[in-house]
Structures are given as structure tokens and as C-alpha cells.
Structure 1
Amino acid sequence: MAHYDGLMPELSCPPSLHHTFHHAADPALLALDLADHVAALLRQGLAERGRALLIVSGGSTPVPFFQALARCALDWSAVTVTLADERWLPPDHPDSNAALVRTHLLKAHAAAAHFVPLYNGATTPAEGVPALEATLAALSWPADAVVLGMGGDGHTASLFPDAPELPYALLDAAPARCLAVEAPLPPNVPVPRVSLTRRALLDTRQLIVHLTGEDKLELLHQAMLPGDVAEYPIRVALQQHTVPCHIFHA
């Protein structure tokens, strides 16, 4: 694995922004590298505080990472896992992020982890947010790691470019850790969602951006240039310097 401290190679970026870039030859090797990295963060949290909080994302990219992380030996019974966002679907629906986590992460050693889903059975995300807010407030913040993906439009979690709820989600002073999100347009799965806000996503000891493919890397390069977060919401992670940000790419 190649490992670079500081700015990504051949990339112009504001000098106050610092990232650590990890590259692997293929997605399978990247998944192993990322699993080892996250497991080390969880072990550190367990050693220092007796508990750890991990926030993960959905989609197809994290599946091999989940499978590798599930095999990592640590005290999973003291680890809480929750999601950066969720489609407002029953937990057995194939498009549910909770179903993805249960199928691929909460296995092997990680079967002992405590999972906190975001979907709570309310009719709509807006109706479910108040109870979900209380659930999130009870977790042990800051998280030990927040693992984010990036869509082809530059979205992360369920924060989509120029979405009507985005300005509130990005407020530094927003009291909420989550909010309801309108159904995005295809090719994203067009169902309503709930997403963590900027406040919650940055309430972590380390941010991790996990992506594969040259198209995603090119988009990441664009997002790391100065610009409006509403254009590429992944800038929530990239254009801040309060939380260490590690980028894993293959």
C-alpha cells in the first residue's frame, strides 16, 4: 500500500487542508488495508475509553471492507456501530443500509457488536427523526471513526448536491445530529432518507473516505479544490481541518 502524508499528489488544495492518502492495487487489497486501519482505531478507543463508536456508510463499495473488518479480532461487544444515513425502508428490504450491515459486517467476530439502526418504523423520515435524534444523542460521541463513501455526483451520506435540506444539514450551529432527506433523483435509489448532519459527521476522532475507480478519484480531485460545499457535499469531509481525514482509494 502506498501511503502519503499531507496533500494528494498533483493536487492543488488550500494549504490549511491536510489529508492522508492510502492507495492499494485493487479494491480487495484496499478493503484489507482499510479494515486493519479501522480495527486499530477501534482497539485504541477500547483501550483508552473501554468502548468505541463506528459510523459506516452503505452502497456496494464497502462490502469487501465490511467482510474484512468482521474478521478482525477485538472486543466487539464494546463496539457500537451505526450508519451515516439510511433509506427509509424496512430493515429486510434489499436497498436498506441496515440490511447491508447485518449481512456483511455483523458476522464472525463483529457479530457481538451493538448495532443502532437509523430506520425506526415511523411512517416517514420526518416523523422518525425526533426519536432517532434521542437515540443518537445517547451514543458515546465523538465517534472513533466515520467511514464515508462518495457518489458519482459528489454526495456523501445522504447529503446531495443542491438538495433543499442541504443548507440546514451543513450549519455548524445546527443542533440536530440527523435530518429527513427528500428522495433523490436516479441513479440514486429514489426513496426518502435520513442522514447525519455535518455536525454529527465531524463529531469524530477520524474521518475516512473510501472510494474505488479512476472516475471517483478524478471527482475527488475536483472536490478537493476550493468551492461551494453544495456543489460537492463530500467537501464536508475534505474542506475542513478540525478532524484528520484519511482517503482510501484503489
Structure 2
Amino acid sequence: MNTTVEVLPDKTALIQRSLDLVLTKLQSAIAERGRFTIALSGGSTPKPLYEAIATQSLPWDKIHVFWGDERYVPADHPDSNERMARQAWLDQVPIPAANIHAMPTDEADPVDAAQKHEQQLQQFFQLQPGQFPTLDLILLGIGDDAHTASLFPHTEALQVHDRLITVGNKDGQPRITFTAPLINHARCVAFMVAGASKQTALSQIFAPTADEMTYPARLIQPEGELWWLLDQAAGETIPAIA
């Protein structure tokens, strides 16, 4: 695993650096494989990144968009990660509808929705049973509790190793989420982290030893590149522990 940790001066610099990384990975993926596959994260931190991507002139027909996790709400719900990304980016550019691979949240049972999305990924990436896809770039954040995607501390989703998609649980509210093994198959995983409230979680994620069930972001050890892009407020203590 090739790990890079960068502490940027502020949120604006964090967004710019993230944009540079996305564009670099996009260009190389399209040059090498003819398409770019990216999984988006929710939350407030990446929204300005999506708005910045929307201003670029890019080969939209070669870009395929996925999500690392999704709240189990309708796609037009204010809490929907898909809705946020559509408003900030996808609805602003001529990307083909078929290139947007949203997580389904319309099944009566979230387990059925997770299985449905797993089948969608298997079809798109032409996988055999038991195989994992290799996305070009997965964007992630962390919570103050060190969760990432919808992999929350001490939840069953952390133990799922034989599936692409599973059901996460946040205070009894179901989520659909990538599993840790799926994330770890990516060519590149990039965490975007902002704010002083993340310092405690980061100290445990970067510690030589800590419990992965308590600090789930420690599970993310991709086969490809791992980037930690932090603003100054989040990353102040990183030099001492990285």
C-alpha cells in the first residue's frame, strides 16, 4: 500500500488539492482503460469539490459515478447523498444518465436493496461470483467516531468480507454501504478530512495499534494508493503520529 498524508492550510486548499487528485486519476484512467470509475462520499466536506468538478470541461461520457454509501431515504430526500451530488455536480453537466449508478433505496427491505446493487456492480464490472471490482477512485470521509462510508463502530457491517455491498446501521437507521474489502480493492482511496473535531479519531486511525471495530477507518488498507488529505485544523497532530 502506498500511503500519502498531506496537511493543507485550510478548507479551500483541501478542496483544490482534492480536485487536482481527481483530475489526475481521471486523466490516467481514461488514457489507460477508456473510462473513469469514481465512488462519492456524502457529508458537507466534499460538496465544494463536486461543485468544482462541475465547472470542468471533461469527457462526461467516459465517467461513471458510484456512491460509497447511502442513507436509506428516497433519492429526493434532503439527507440523500445522491441528491447532494446531483445538485452540486451531476445535474450541472451533460453526463449520460446511464453513467450514474446510484444505490437503490426503494426496496421494502434494505437487505434486498444491497443485493440488488451488488448485482448491478457485478454486471457493470463483469464480475464472477466472489470477485471484487476495482474502482479507479473512492472518495471517503470520516466521522468524529472514526466511521467511514456507513461502516460504523461495533456494527455487523464491519464483519462482512464476502460481499460487495451490505447494510450499515447508524443509531437504528439503515444505510447501504460498500464493504471494507470492496473499498480496499480500489486503485486509489482518498480521505478528505476537515475540522478540529476529527483530531481524536485521526489519532486512533494513525496509531500503531488500535481496535478496528472501535475505529473502523483503520480497516481501509487498499491494495492501491491511499491518500489522506487533511486541512490544518484536522491534521495539526498528524506529524506526531504518522
Normalization by structure 2: what TM-score? 0.85
Q: 1:216 matched to which residue of 2? A: 198
Query: What is the distance in 2 between the residues matched to 1:112 and 1:71?
Result: 17
| Partner deviation per Cα, 1:102-137 (whole Å, 9 max, x = no partner) | 111214447457211112411121121222111111
Cα distance in 2 for partners of 1:155, 1:217 equals 13
Q: Distance in 2 between matches of 1:36 and 1:110?
A: 21
Which residue in 2 is equivalent to 1:163? 155
The answer to whether the aligner puts 1:149 opposite 2:133 as a matched pair is no
Matched, 1:177 2:142: no
More helix by share: 2
Alignment partner, residue 126 of structure 1: 111
Q: Which amino acid aligns with 1:136?
A: L
Q: In the aligned structure 2, how far is the partner of 1:214 from the partner of 1:92?
A: 31
SS of the residue 2:65 aligns to? strand
Displacement of 1:59: 0.8
CA contact (8 A) 1:69 1:105 kept: yes
2:90 match: secondary structure? coil
1:87 to 67, 71, 76: 71
Cα pair 2:54 2:92 within 8 Å, conserved: yes
Q: Matches of 1:151 and 1:145 in 2, distance apart?
A: 20
Distance 1:215 1:137, change over 3 A: same
**Does residue 1:231 correspond to 2:214, yes or no?**
yes
Point out the more displaced range, 110-119 or 82-91.
Answer: 110-119
SS of match in other structure, 1:192: strand
Alpha carbons 2:71, 2:81 under 8 Å: kept: yes
Q: CA RMSD in A?
A: 1.8
Q: Which moved more, 1:43-52 or 1:26-35?
A: 26-35
The 1-side partners of 2:16 and 2:222 are apart by: 27
Shift of 1:201: 0.7
- Give 1:43's aligned residue: 27
Percent sequence identity over aligned pairs? 29
1:116 correspondence with 2:101: yes
Distance 1:18 1:228, change over 3 A: farther
TM-score (norm 1): 0.83
Gaps of 5+ in 2: 126-132, 232-242
Provide the rounded CA distance (Å) in 1 between the counterparts of 2:95 and 2:147: 30
Cα distance in 2 between the residues matched to 1:104 and 1:123: 29
**Runs of 5+ in structure 1 lacking a partner?**
1-16
Report the more deviating stretch, 101-110 or 144-153. Answer: 101-110
Matched, 1:245 2:232: no
The structural deviation recorded for 1:73 is 2.7
| Residue matched to 1:199 | 181
- Residue in 1 that maps onto 2:15: 31
How many Å apart are 1:21 and its aligned residue? 1.5
Q: 1:54 to 1:18 in 2, by over 3 A?
A: closer
Change in Cα spacing, 1:39 to 1:104, as seen in structure 2 (3 Å) is same
The amino acid that maps onto 2:56 is C
Say whether the 8 Å CA contact 2:70–2:81 is kept in structure 1.
Answer: yes
Aligned partners of 2:157, 2:39: CA distance in 1, in Å? 21
